[in-house]
Amino acid sequence: MIEPADRDRAARTGPDWVRDAVFYQIFPDRFAISLRVPKPGTLERWDAPPTVHGFKGGDLLGVAEHLDELRDLGITALYLNPIFASASNHRYHTYDYELVDPLLGGDAALRELLDSAHARGIRVILDGVFNHASRGFWPFHHILENGTASPYRDWFNLDAEVLAGRRGLNAYPSAPATVAAPDEPNEATAAAGSLAAATSPGASSSAAPSSPAAYAAPPSPRSRLGYEAWWDMPALPKLNHHNPEVREYIYRVAERWLRFGIDGWRLDVPADITEPGFWEEFRRRCLAVNPQAYIVGEIWTAAPEWLAGDRFDALMNYPLAEAILSFTGAGRLDRDLVATTHEFSRHVHDVDGPEFGRWLAAVMATYPPETTSLQLNLLDSHDTPRFLSLAGGDTTTLRLATLIQMTLPGAPCVYYGDEVGLEGRGDPDCRRAYPWDVVRQDRRLRDFVAGLTALRHANPALRRGRFELLAAEGSAVAYGLFGEESPGGAGLTLGGRAFDLAPSGESRPTEGVRRRDRSMIVVVNAGDSPATLSFELPGQARGSVEQVSWTGRDWTSTFASRPLERGTLVVDIEAREGVVLGVDPAL
Those residues whose C-beta lies under 8 Å from the C-beta of residue 8, and which sit 6 or more positions away, are none
Cβ distance 299 to 271 under 8 Å?
yes
Distance of CA 289 to the CA centre of its chain: 23
In which element (H, E) is residue 521 found?
strand 519-525
Helix axes 244-260 and 278-289, enclosed angle (nearest 10):
30
Q: Which long-range contacts (CB under 8 A, 24 or more apart) does 96-102 make?
A: 96/137, 96/138, 97/133, 97/249, 97/253, 98/253, 98/256, 100/60
Q: What's the Cα-to-Cα distance from 352 to each of 326, 359, 361, 495, 526, rounded to whole Å?
A: 9, 11, 14, 41, 8
In which element (H, E) is residue 494 found?
strand 492-494
Those residues whose C-beta lies under 8 Å from the C-beta of residue 212, and which sit 6 or more positions away, are 180, 340, 426
Distance of CA 304 to the CA centre of its chain: 18
Please indicate whether residue 343 is annotated as part of the active site: no
Handedness of CA 284, 285, 289, 293 (dihedral sign): negative
* Angle, vertex CA 282, rays to CA 112 and CA 380, nearest 5: 65
Q: What's the Cα-to-Cα distance from 530 to each of 42, 398, 524, rounded to whole Å?
A: 54, 19, 11
Q: Which amino acid is at 205?
A: S
Beta pairing partners, 378? 413
3-state SS class at 29: helix
Those residues whose C-beta lies under 8 Å from the C-beta of residue 43, and which sit 6 or more positions away, are 54, 55, 56, 57
Residue 362: Cβ within 10 Å count: 13
* Helix ranges (DSSP H) in 459-559: 460-464
Q: Which amino acid is at 121?
A: G
Cα–Cα distance measured from residue 425 to residue 338, given in angstroms and rounded to the nearest whole number: 10
CA-atom Rg of the chain in angstroms: 24
Give the active site residue among 268, 322, 419, 577. 268
Where are the strands (E) in 32-93, listed by range? 77-80, 84-86
Beta pairing partners, 468? 480
3-state SS class at 186: coil
Cα–Cα distance measured from residue 238 to residue 156, given in angstroms and rounded to the nearest whole number: 6
Give the active site residue among 127, 187, 263, 298. 298
| Cis preceding linkage at 428, omega within 30 | yes
Cβ distance 295 to 267 under 8 Å?
yes
Cα–Cα distance measured from residue 140 to residue 155, given in angstroms and rounded to the nearest whole number: 8
Please indicate whether residue 268 is annotated as part of the active site: yes
Nearest one of 358, 355, 335 to 345, comparing CA atoms:
335
* Helix ranges (DSSP H) in 223-277: 244-260
- Which positions are annotated as active-site residues? 268, 298
